[in-house]
Amino acid sequence: MSTPLTQLSEDELMFQQAIRDWAQKEIKPKVHDMDKNSKLDKDIISKAFELGLMGIEVPAQYGGSEASFTMAILAIEEIAKVDPAVSVFVDVQNTLVLNAITNFANDAMKEKYYPKLASEWVGSYALSEPASGSDAFALQCKAEDCGDHWKLNGTKLWITNGDEANFYIVFATIDPDAGYKGITGFLVEREFEGFTVGKKEDKLGIRASSTTELILEDCIVPKKNVLGEVGKGYKVAIETLNEGRIGIGAQMIGLAQGAFDNAMAHMLERKQFGKRIADFQGLQFQYAEVATRIEAARLMVYNAARLKDAGKPFVKEAAMAKLYSSQVAEYAASKCVEFHGGVGFTTEFPAEKFYRDAKIGSIYEGTTNMQLQTIAKLLVAERS
């Protein structure tokens, strides 16, 4: 697969290749066991920190890589070609947790948490609740002002990296009757009194990526750990998720490419009726279509990332990239199972895992319908 050279600089191409080599050499041999055991390998986690992948945009003075958002997107894509579960582990750390801190934390917070997150602490982003999914601000998790601290009570669900994390951005409401104007973001450490990681979900796909419940029972949070302003957490959540959607887009194009690369290798090797199955026109038309859709989705994701790095409006492009790349991932993964024939339905080949992993793309960080709604609103706004 050729990379669009007009889109990537020499440094970006070198970085991309380095992550590709690591993923192929060290992640690939462990994919099956991680999926089977529903757990990330500890050495993979350690190596991600060692390579600087858990603090890609963190300034060098705090121990980070001080690279661009686009670099983070490239890393997420390359890892997803081998294992989308490891990819989303890196994705949440960079596009949600660290972006929220970069954009909304004060200097004291950055001094305290940047070095930890860049070197050893896994971060998690806790917005969803039992009654709060697409209706993101229907939060029941309550924050009570207790003078010198906040007290949080409630339950969070479907929290990525929940099992591995040491640090959580938790959203709660100071006043349920205030709607979105009551939402506030809090920086919560795993060891805070009253904080517990609950059950871990048993999932269809991205099984090695932990998805957990968080339980807050009179959880004590220092006053200084409010992220942004009290009652302005909706702004933190919205702006961070806008960036996070580009990360999911990168995960999905990586997944699609990984499935396609494996399928092409199989079609070039497998022979039927005296010739390679890749040489049958019926299959040629199908895999040419898959390759074209992947390339289109990749350009959309890269474009959204470039706009974000340039400080230009990107929300519509991010929603479009997330929408389309998730559709392409499902389409490509399904086709690639078929390209393998019967063996594609077995766990001996990676096709079935890519197929299982693909489904989440149209659900988390904004469902397909929510992306369509966002795109429609912005299209109308542009013309009003």
Residue 5 lies in a domain: no
Structural domain contains residue 39: yes
pLDDT of 272 reads 96
Task: Report pTM.
Answer: 0.96
- Which of 104, 122, 140 corresponds to the end of one domain? 122
The upper half-sphere exposure of residue 258, i.e. CA atoms within 13 Å in the direction of its Cβ, equals: 33
Maximal CA-CA distance, the chain:
79
- Note whether 152 and 188 are within 8 A (CB): yes
Are 220 and 248 members of one domain? no
Residues 211, 201 contacting (CB under 8 angstroms): yes
pLDDT at 5: 39
For residue 86, the domain's CATH number is 1.10.540.10
| Same domain flag for 95 and 149 | no
Give residue for tokens 């942004």.
228
Q: Which of 57, 348, 365, 382 is catalytic?
A: 365
Task: Indicate if 239 belongs to the active site.
Answer: no
Does residue 122 contact residue 87 with C-beta atoms inside 8 Å?
no
Do 225 and 349 lie in one domain? The reply is no
Q: Give the distance from CA 375 to its chain's centroid.
A: 20
Do 159 and 194 lie in one domain? The reply is: yes
> Smallest Cα–Cα separation from 234: which of 117, 135, 145, 150?
135
Residue 153: CA count within 13 A, CB half-sphere: 9
- What's the pLDDT at 137? 83
End of a domain among 188, 215, 231?
A: 231
Write out the two tokens for 139: 């939060």
Q: Domain check: are 32 and 97 in the same one?
A: yes
Q: How far apart are CA 259 and CA 84, in angstroms?
A: 11
Number of domains in the chain: 3
Scan for tokens 């992947």, then name that residue.
Answer: 294
What radius of gyration do the chain's Cα atoms show? 21
Report H helices in the chain: 10-22, 31-37, 42-50, 69-80, 84-91, 99-104, 107-119, 233-269, 281-309, 315-340, 351-358, 368-382
What single DSSP character describes residue 132? B
Cα distance between the two ends of the chain? 42
- If asked whether residues 138 and 114 sit together in one domain, one would say no
Which of 231, 257, 289 corresponds to the end of one domain?
A: 231
Return d(Cα 44, Cα 25) in angstroms, integer: 11
> What 3-state class would DSSP assign to 155?
strand
Q: What HEC string does 256-277 produce?
A: HHHHHHHHHHHHHHCEECCEEH
Tell me if 2 is assigned to some domain.
Answer: no
The tens-digit pLDDT sequence of the chain (384 residues) is 444 434 789 999 999 999 999 999 999 999 999 999 999 999 999 999 999 999 999 999 999 999 999 999 999 999 999 999 999 999 999 999 999 999 999 999 999 999 999 999 999 999 999 988 888 888 999 999 999 999 999 999 999 999 999 999 999 999 988 989 999 999 999 999 999 999 999 999 999 999 999 999 999 999 999 999 999 999 999 999 999 999 999 999 999 999 999 999 999 999 999 999 999 999 999 999 999 999 999 999 999 999 999 999 999 999 999 999 999 999 999 999 999 999 999 999 999 999 999 999 999 999 999 999 999 999 999 999
The range of the structural domain enclosing residue 182 comes to 124-231
- Verify that 71 and 176 share a domain, yes or no: no
pLDDT at residue 360 in the model: 98
Q: What is the pLDDT of residue 133?
A: 85
350: domain CATH number is: 1.20.140.10
Residues 136, 109 share a domain = no
